């Protein structure tokens, strides 16, 4: 108080002035303060839950309720609200990572994740399996408070289960026909384990992506495929050759038989014709055999001798001609 | 009046401090234990919400109630059949006895350290007491698959169908424990130790089992040679099929050609026989005339103009050359 008195009336006046101006401006400042207070209170009381979320309300540490999308009230400072995306499908990738999906084409990280993807198959071979797990948060409260690190649990279990499922199969099946079955089995088993933790996760799909033999073995797997191609090629070639040759041979065989049949028919027809001709002539011959014989003989002889260029006629009385025969040509020319 | 104000301020201050010291919030997923001068009092508080304790003399300590994750460092362990593998395990655990937990390991990082020793040890024991296949496979389902494949292959062979042979080269042994059971064994064995720390190990997962580097190289080598063997088999099967087809081609060709020849000859034979029969029947009616006529025809056909002909004048043809009688 002594301090105040020391300052004298000047100070008193100052204070009075201040309060007066304060009173004058009180209305404006008061409204401003009230507005700020109301905004702060509103922000602490009202909250919205987006369509893809659900919110859990915690009152003094204790879970109260889960609220659905829309506008909600809470007790300020006493209740805490946590929003969790429940409709969104989350994806965990194994053996590869998506780098970004904003470009036209999705880009993948070039790093290899062999640790994750290499697994031992039932026949003690190794396969490189890449897969994705898609899951949704089915119960936000359990998701938040049942386990501390849900994502990590999902990853751990997924790896463990995938190896277990692949471990019961042959490497060739894993690489070829087993894909769908492996994925569906893995999904079922994963869900079983996660349900045991009761952590509010529901697995939507498990999908196998690239499934390959390990890098250094790939070439030999390709060789098997090539061998298959080669095998087919060789067999096809042989079959083609067969199909070329055999039909042709059948055609030729058919021709041979047809020709023989033609020959036979011709032969029989000719014999029939010859026989008919002979019988007709014979009939007439029998009526006048002698004269017919004579006629036929003479006609034939005439024809033969008419075309002969070299005929020697020897009188039956002339003897000793025979030695000349040795030099026939000379003998005739001398004449 | 001023003293009164001061008193109120002090009273409120004490009230706040007292409240702050006697009420505490246990959030979801946590549990608390109350200690009085360091000595635990009562049961652990596991229910979330607002709780009371004596101010100043008692203290609340919090530990997690949720399922926690333990991640082990990959270990190289030889299996019973002397195969070196890298085993990577993870486990889920929770604090079931907060009091004992605080007393024995104090906090989570203490627990992690102890769990490392316990679970790694248990893993080592269990894995090295079993063959590799027990850790790789879970069931004997694969035997059924192999048996089915082989029987199908046999059936195809019997039917003589075309098949692309791709069998499993090595024999696959039966397992008696299996992967899932091994992790249960590890869990059970680790649990015995964990009990002392108020920890419940929910499960131990064999996350990854992989071959150790040098073993891996050998496995790859084996895989390569196996594939090569199969490739070779496929190729030679192709060559075999080719030879078979070629053989069939040869056989069929000869069959076709010789059958055709036989049939043609039969046809010709039959025709000639018939023709002979026809000739004989008709010619037999006038054998003399036939002989005569056919001989003349033969003369006509066989005697050419280039021949030298010596004709005796007393032949029938020339008989009128010497006389008109």
Residue by residue, pLDDT tens for chain B (325 residues) are: 668 888 999 999 988 888 888 888 898 889 999 988 888 888 888 888 888 888 888 888 899 999 999 998 898 999 998 889 999 999 999 999 998 998 899 889 999 999 999 999 999 999 999 999 999 999 888 888 888 888 888 887 777 665 555 555 566 788 889 999 999 999 999 999 999 999 999 999 999 999 988 888 999 998 899 889 888 988 898 899 899 999 999 999 999 999 999 999 999 999 999 999 999 999 899 898 889 988 998 988 888 878 887 877 777 788 787 777 6
Q: Quick one: which of B31, B39, B33, B38 has its CA closest to B53?
A: B33
Angle in degrees, CA B239, B240, B245, rounded to 5? 95
The pairing of strands B308-312 and A310-314 is parallel
User: Structurally, how many domains does chain B consist of?
Assistant: 3
DSSP state of A51: T
pLDDT of amino acid B163: 55
How far apart, in Å, are the Cα atoms of B109 and each of A20, A261, B102, B105? Answer: 63, 105, 12, 8
B82 and B221 housed in the same domain: yes
The reply to whether residue A304 touches residue B300, judged by beta carbons under 8 angstroms, is yes
Which residues of chain A make contact with B68, given a CB cutoff of 8 A? 147-149
pLDDT of amino acid B1: 60
Which residues of chain B make contact with A282, given a CB cutoff of 8 A? 285-286, 289-290
Of the CA atoms within 13 Å of residue A22, those in its CB half-sphere come to 6
B56 and B75 housed in the same domain: no
| Nearest-neighbour CA in chain A from B18: distance (Å) | 18
* A333 and B CB contact within 8 Å: no
* B19 and A CB contact within 8 Å: no
The reply to whether residue A126 touches residue B219, judged by beta carbons under 8 angstroms, is yes
Which residues of chain A make contact with B281, given a CB cutoff of 8 A? 275
Answer CATH for A90-213 from 3.30.479.30, 3.90.1410.10, 3.40.50.920, 3.40.50.620 = 3.30.479.30
CA B145 to chain centre: 9
Band of pLDDT at residue A257, cut at 50, 70 and 90: very high
Band of pLDDT at residue A333, cut at 50, 70 and 90: very low
Pick from A152, A261, A271: CB nearest B278:
A271
The reply to whether residue B138 touches residue A164, judged by beta carbons under 8 angstroms, is yes
How far apart, in Å, are the Cα atoms of B262 and each of A245, B249, B257, B259? Answer: 20, 20, 9, 5
B117 and B43 housed in the same domain: no
| Nearest-neighbour CA in chain B from A105: distance (Å) | 32
The pairing of strands B68-71 and B58-64 is unpaired
Pick from B168, B303, B311: CB nearest A313:
B311
Phi, psi of A278 (to 5 degrees): -60, -45
Pick from A228, A249, A279: CB nearest B253:
A249
B152 and B298 housed in the same domain: no
DSSP state of A138: S
B131 and B162 housed in the same domain: yes
Ordered by start, the domain boundaries in chain A are 2-84, 90-213, 289-334
Residue A256 has pLDDT above 70, yes or no: yes
Pick from B133, B259, B305: CB nearest A309:
B305
Instruction: Please indicate, yes or no, if residue B141 is contained in any of the structural domains.
Output: yes
Which residues of chain B make contact with A237, given a CB cutoff of 8 A? 242
Rg (chain B; Cα; Å): 55
DSSP state of A219: H
The reply to whether residue A60 touches residue B252, judged by beta carbons under 8 angstroms, is no
| CB-CB contact of A106 with A98 (8 Å) | yes
DSSP state of A70: E
Question: End of a domain among B20, B42, B64?
Answer: B64
Which residues of chain A make contact with B267, given a CB cutoff of 8 A? 257, 260-261, 263-264
| CB-CB contact of A92 with A155 (8 Å) | yes
ipTM of the predicted assembly exceeds 0.90: no
* B296 and A CB contact within 8 Å: yes
pLDDT of amino acid A331: 40
Range of the domain at B26: 12-64
Residue among A77, A161, A269, A278 with most chain B CBs within 10 A, to mutate: A278
Spell out a b/e string for B77-95, using b for 16 or more CB atoms within 10 Å of the CB, else e: bebeeebebbbbbbbbbbb
Question: End of a domain among B23, B45, B64?
Answer: B64
The reply to whether residue B172 touches residue A122, judged by beta carbons under 8 angstroms, is yes
Residue numbers of B between 108 and 167 with CB closer than 8 Å to A: 132-133, 136-139, 141-142, 145-146, 162, 164, 166
Residue numbers of A between 108 and 147 with CB closer than 8 Å to B: 115-116, 118-126, 141, 144-147
B92 and B202 housed in the same domain: yes
Instruction: Please indicate, yes or no, if residue B266 is contained in any of the structural domains.
Output: no
Give the CATH number of the domain where residue B154 resides: 3.30.479.30
As a whole number of angstroms, the distance between CA B259 and CA B264 comes to 8
B40 and B134 housed in the same domain: no
Tell me which residue has tokens 């496979």: B137
* A215 and B CB contact within 8 Å: no
Helices (H), chain B: 2-22, 98-105, 108-128, 132-136, 141-159, 179-194, 213-283, 287-302, 319-322
């Amino acid at each position: 108080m002594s301090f105040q008195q020391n300052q004298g009336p000047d100070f008193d006046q100052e204070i009075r002035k201040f309060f007066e101006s304060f009173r004058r401006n009180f209305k404006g400042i008061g409204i401003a303060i009230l507005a700020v207070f109301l905004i702060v209170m509103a922000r602490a009381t009202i909250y919205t839950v987006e369509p893809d979320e659900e919110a859990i309300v915690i009152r003094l540490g204790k879970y109260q309720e889960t609220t659905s999308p829309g506008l909600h009230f809470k007790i300020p400072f006493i209740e805490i609200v946590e929003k969790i995306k429940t409709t969104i499908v989350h994806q965990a990738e194994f053996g590869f990572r998506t780098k970004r999906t904003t470009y036209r084409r999705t880009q993948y990280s070039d790093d290899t994740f062999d640790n994750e993807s290499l697994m031992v198959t039932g026949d003690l071979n190794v396969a490189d399996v890449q897969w994705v797990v898609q899951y949704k948060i089915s119960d936000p409260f359990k998701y938040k408070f049942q386990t501390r690190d849900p994502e990590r649990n999902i990853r751990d279990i997924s790896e463990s289960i995938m190896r277990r499922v692949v471990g019961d199969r042959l490497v060739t099946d894993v690489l070829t026909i087993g894909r769908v079955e492996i994925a569906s089995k893995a999904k079922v088993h994963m869900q079983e384990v996660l349900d045991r933790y009761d952590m509010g996760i529901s697995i939507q799909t498990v999908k196998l992506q690239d499934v390959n033999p390990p890098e250094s073995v790939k070439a030999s797997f390709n060789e098997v495929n090539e061998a298959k191609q080669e095998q087919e090629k060789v067999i096809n070639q042989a079959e083609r050759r067969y199909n070329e040759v055999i039909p042709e041979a059948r055609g030729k065989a058919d021709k041979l038989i047809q020709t023989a049949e033609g020959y036979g028919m011709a032969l029989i027809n000719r014999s029939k014709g010859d026989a008919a001709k002979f019988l007709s002539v014979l009939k007439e011959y029998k009526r006048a055999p002698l004269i017919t014989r004579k006629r036929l003989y003479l006609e034939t002889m005439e024809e033969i001798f008419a075309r002969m260029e070299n005929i020697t006629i020897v009188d039956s009385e002339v003897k000793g001609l025979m030695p000349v025969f040795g030099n026939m040509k000379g003998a005739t020319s001398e004449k | 009046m001023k003293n009164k104000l001061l008193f109120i301020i002090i009273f409120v201050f004490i009230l706040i401090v007292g409240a702050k010291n006697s009420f505490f919030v246990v959030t979801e997923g946590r549990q608390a234990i109350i200690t009085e001068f360091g000595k635990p009092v009562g049961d652990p508080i596991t229910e979330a919400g607002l709780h009371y304790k004596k101010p100043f003399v008692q203290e609340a300590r919090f530990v997690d109630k949720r399922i926690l994750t333990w991640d082990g460092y990959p270990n190289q362990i030889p299996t019973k059949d002397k195969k070196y593998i890298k085993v990577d395990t993870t486990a889920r655990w929770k604090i079931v006895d907060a009091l004992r937990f605080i007393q024995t390991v104090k906090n989570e990082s203490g627990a992690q350290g102890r769990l490392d020793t316990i679970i790694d040890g248990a893993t080592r024991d269990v894995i090295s007491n079993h063959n590799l296949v027990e850790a790789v496979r879970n069931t004997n389902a694969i035997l059924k698959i192999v048996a089915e494949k082989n029987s199908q292959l046999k059936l195809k062979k019997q039917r003589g169908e075309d098949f692309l042979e791709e069998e499993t080269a090595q024999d696959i042994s039966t397992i008696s424990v299996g992967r899932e059971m091994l992790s249960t064994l590890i869990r059970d064995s680790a649990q015995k130790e964990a009990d002392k720390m108020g920890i419940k190990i929910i499960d131990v997962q064999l996350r990854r089992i992989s071959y150790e580097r040098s073993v891996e190289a050998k496995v790859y080598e084996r895989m390569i040679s196996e594939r090569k063997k199969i490739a070779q088999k496929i190729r030679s099967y192709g060559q075999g099929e080719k030879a078979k087809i070629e053989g069939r081609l040869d056989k069929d060709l000869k069959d076709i050609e010789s059958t055709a020849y036989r049939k043609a000859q039969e046809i010709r034979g039959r025709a000639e026989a018939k023709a002979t029969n026809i000739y004989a029947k008709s010619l037999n009616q006038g054998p003399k005339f036939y002989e005569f006529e056919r001989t003349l025809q033969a003369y006509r056909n066989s005697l050419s103009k280039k021949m030298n002909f010596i004709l005796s004048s007393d032949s029938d043809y020339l008989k009128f050359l010497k006389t008109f009688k």
